[in-house]
C-alpha cells in the first residue's frame, strides 16, 4: 500500500471535518468555475478527488456535465463512494477511477480541470510534469482550478489548534504537534486529531504529513511561462486558462 494510503487510512474520518472552515469561500470560487466550463464541450476532470465533496458540489452546479474523478487512495475512494451513493441526482454522471493523473489517458475531450490540494503531494519535478501534461492535452480556453496549502501552516506554532468541528455530541479538534522544514520546499507536520465528548477525550490519532510547498506566485509564474493565462484568486486558489 502506498504512502498516501497509509496516511489517509488513519485520518480519512477527520478529513472533511478538519476542512469545514474553508467551504464557504471555496463554494463561491466553484460557482465561478462552473460558469466558465458550462458552455465548453467535454468532461470535467477532477485530479485527486479525495472524499468527493468538491466533485459532488461541482456536479450539482452543472447538471449536464460528466465528471471523471481520479483518486489513487483506496481509503479516500471508500469515503467518496459512500458519499456518492447518497446523491442519486449526480451519481450516474460521476466516474471514480482508482488511478493518479500519470496513468490517465486524456482520450476524453475536457472542458475543465480541478486540481484541489494535489500539487503538494508531488515533488517539484512531478508538479512540473503534471502542469506540462495539462498544457499538452487541453484545448484553448479550458480552465484549471488549483488549490494549494494555506501558507499560515508554514509558520503556525507547535501546539496550534487548526480546526474544530462538532458532530452530534462529539467535538473534533486538529492540532499541529510538530513541524519541520526538511528541504528547500519540503515540510513535515505531525497532526493530532482529538475527539471529545464533553470534556472527555474519546480518541486521539497522530499522523505525519509531508508536503512540498510552492506558493501561489511560484505556480502562477510557472504556468505563465507555459501556455496559460493566470489569475490569483486567494492565498490558496489560482486559475489558469489554456491560451494557445
Higher-pLDDT residue of 186, 143: 143
> How would CATH label the architecture of 151-212?
Single Sheet (2.20)
Percent over 90 (pLDDT), the chain: 70
Is 45 within 8 Å of 75 (Cβ atoms)?
Answer: no
Q: How confident is the model at residue 5 (pLDDT cuts 50, 70, 90)?
A: low
Using CA atoms, how far apart are residues 72 and 163, in angstroms rounded to an integer?
Answer: 26
Average pLDDT over residues 62-87: 94
pLDDT tens, 89-103? 999 999 999 999 999
With DSSP H G I counted as helix, E B as strand and the rest as coil, what are the percentages for the chain, rounded to 5? Answer: 35, 35, 30
Percent over 70 (pLDDT), the chain: 93
Q: How confident is the model at residue 1 (pLDDT cuts 50, 70, 90)?
A: very low
Q: What is the CATH number of domain 3-148+214-242?
A: 3.40.50.150
Q: Where are the domains of the chain?
A: 3-148+214-242, 151-212
The pLDDT, as a whole number, for residue 8 is 64
The pLDDT, as a whole number, for residue 22 is 52
Amino acid at each position: 500500500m502506498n504512502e498516501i494510503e497509509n496516511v489517509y487510512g488513519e485520518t480519512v474520518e477527520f478529513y472533511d471535518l478538519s476542512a469545514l472552515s474553508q467551504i464557504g469561500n471555496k463554494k463561491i470560487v466553484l460557482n465561478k468555475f462552473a460558469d466558465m466550463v458550462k458552455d465548453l464541450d467535454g468532461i470535467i476532470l477532477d485530479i485527486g478527488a479525495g472524499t468527493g465533496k468538491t466533485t459532488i458540489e461541482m456536479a450539482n452546479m452543472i447538471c449536464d456535465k460528466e465528471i471523471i474523478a481520479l483518486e489513487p487512495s483506496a481509503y479516500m475512494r471508500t469515503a467518496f463512494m459512500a458519499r456518492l451513493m447518497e446523491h442519486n441526482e449526480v451519481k450516474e454522471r460521476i466516474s471514480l477511477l482508482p488511478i493518479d493523473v500519470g496513468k490517465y489517458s486524456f482520450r476524453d475531450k475536457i472542458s475543465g480541470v480541478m486540481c484541489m490540494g494535489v500539487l503538494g503531494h508531488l515533488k517539484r519535478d512531478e508538479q512540473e510534469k503534471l502542469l506540462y501534461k495539462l498544457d499538452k492535452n487541453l484545448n484553448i480556453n479550458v480552465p484549471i482550478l488549483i488549490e494549494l496549502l494555506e501558507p499560515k501552516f508554514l509558520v503556525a506554532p507547535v501546539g496550534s489548534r487548526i480546526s474544530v468541528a462538532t458532530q452530534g455530541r462529539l467535538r473534533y479538534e486538529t492540532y499541529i504537534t510538530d513541524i519541520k522544514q526538511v528541504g528547500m520546499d519540503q515540510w513535515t507536520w505531525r497532526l493530532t486529531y482529538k475527539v471529545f465528548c464533553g470534556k472527555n477525550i474519546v480518541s486521539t490519532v497522530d499522523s505525519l504529513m509531508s508536503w512540498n510547498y510552492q506558493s501561489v506566485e511560484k505556480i502562477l509564474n510557472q504556468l505563465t511561462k507555459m501556455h496559460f493565462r493566470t489569475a490569483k484568486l486567494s492565498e490558496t486558489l489560482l486559475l489558469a486558462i489554456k491560451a494557445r
